[in-house]
Structure 1
């Protein structure tokens, strides 16, 4: 069963009249007689758009694993930080707030993000709430139980995908980009992460995942990292890719089931 859920009722935080405001997520629910994990899916697109192949197909895969799934139509440029992060955190809170109705275990709510959506997913695992964002559900935690980061944009340094940070920050780029280099923001309170990348990725170098995994390990945060030798960027489920990169999806599901 699939249906749309409104993210924000009434006033939308960080509203930009000149920008598109989807203000929704799509729920993909399975029938279950007991609470199950949920995966909040954040498609990639360089914070300029949302890639369809990293949305519904991912939700349907996780449905097949016995999980509830939600695809967030988060705001992108010309919306700027903290609008995308506010939408992602609101989605996590809504899933927990409606856990009973939607057959979700509120203690097992995960995020899964791709490319810039991976940066957004990692933001929910790493960054505190922005005080500029008012949320009537603020009493509910917006930190995921864990984050699945798929060829994620992490660093804003030499290996960073600068276009993503330009779209996220607007005229605050490059002055504030270092604040959003997430490997530098990791601490012992960061949520556990499952990361995967390909060594051949020419758009977002695999060092992004390596730096994140290294920071997580240094802070004692549970992490699992897979670097596949072949494959480019933006693979989604990678069902038609060369080699075994498509194994990432069942591996991530197995990781989620350990919680």
Structure 2
């Protein structure tokens, strides 16, 4: 018989609540939008992280990024993963959904053991775009139906992994020209698909629409900290996206950290390595402490 020694408890037990409805999207064939949560078994009100998955604006499968979500939960954070509407739904449907998911966490904070003052947003690729949108419009009445609930859309910190900040130059410096075509997904997101009338315009055919649909257009002073990470070898979303967003935020006095992951591609295996997960988890743990400290700058990993 083998007897194992007692194991010191270093991480909390984590429970999962899967696929609860956080919104009924009435303008999308009454589709129920789902959210799943990882909830640490700790007694005190906990910080929370709301995760939005990437998917090129054509899918939003929330059961992704498992390693990172579990690592955050093991650090004592409630982690909610939310789906959202994608093409053929047009902008700003997905931003409305992101705001609704944030409001849902605020309104059910006691049920889930969340401290509503400490809710961060996290996303990768298109999910990073959505996270940036919630971060730049934090606490405002933009993109929500109930203007009186604006304070409940306050974001304590924003993390974007190889996300999109400005649709107008999403392919800056890339060899592939597909971002300039009318069939690029960002063009379909803003202009819509052709049904009854021809909507085939490239993203920059109507620059003001592309600007309105870009998180960088909403940067202002007084926002809470941002972590913007991008791979140096990303050939799908230009690394310029994270750098220009960090610069725009810093110019407004917002604490923004731009991190370049050397050799990493778009959603490549580099992003799932323990050192990268630890970096993101440590950053969020610092920002979500009541007495948090922030940093501003750029770095390369």
| TM-score bin (small chain) | 0.7 to 0.9
- Partners in 1 of 2:270 and 2:77 — Cα distance? 16
- 1:164-223, CA deviations, whole angstroms, 9 ceiling, x for partnerless residues? 422422338542112223223311033321111111111111111000000111000011
SS in 1 for 2:31: coil
CA distance in 2, matches of 1:109, 1:182: 19
- 2:122·2:128 contact (CA, 8 Å) conserved in 1? yes
Q: Is the 8 A contact 1:22 1:74 kept in 2?
A: no
More off after superposition, 60-69 vs 183-192: 183-192
For residues 49-128 of structure 1, the aligned pairs below 5 Å read: 49-51=59-61, 54-127=64-137, 128=140
**Structure 2 match to 1:185:** 218
What residue in structure 2 maps to residue 39 of structure 1?
49
Contact 1:93–1:140, Cα closer than 8 Å, also in 2: no
Rounded Cα–Cα distance in structure 2 between residues aligned with 1:106 and 1:7: 16
What does residue 5 of structure 2 align with?
A: none
Larger Rg: 2
Q: Which residue of 2 aligns with 1:248?
A: 276
Q: CA deviation at 1:252?
A: 1.9
2:166 matches 1:155: yes
Aligned position for 1:222: 255
2:245 paired with 1:212: yes
1:6-30 deviation per Cα after TM superposition (whole angstroms, max 9, x unaligned): 1126xx35x123xx83411111111
TM-score by length of 2: 0.74
Q: Does the aligned pair in 1 maintain the 2:132–2:160 contact within 8 Å?
A: yes
Gaps in structure 1 of 5+ consecutive residues = 241-245
Counterpart-to-counterpart distance in 2, 1:214 and 1:191 = 15
Instruction: Name the residue aligned to 1:16.
Output: 28
Q: Deviations over 1:44-87 (max 9, x none)?
A: 01111125673444322211222110110111111112211111
Question: 1:63/1:122 Cα in 2 relative to 1: closer, same or farther (>3 Å)?
Answer: same
- 2:141 and 2:88 map into 1 onto residues whose CA distance is 21
8 Å CA contact 1:96–1:140 kept in 2: the answer is: no
Residue equivalent to 2:16: 2
Report the TM-score, using the length of structure 1 for normalisation.
0.85
Q: CA RMSD, aligned part only?
A: 2.5
CA offsets 1:128-184 (integer angstroms, 9 cap, x no match): 4446x4249825421311111001111222344563422422338542112223223
**Equivalent residues, number:** 248
Q: Provide the secondary structure at the position in 2 that maps to 1:6.
A: strand
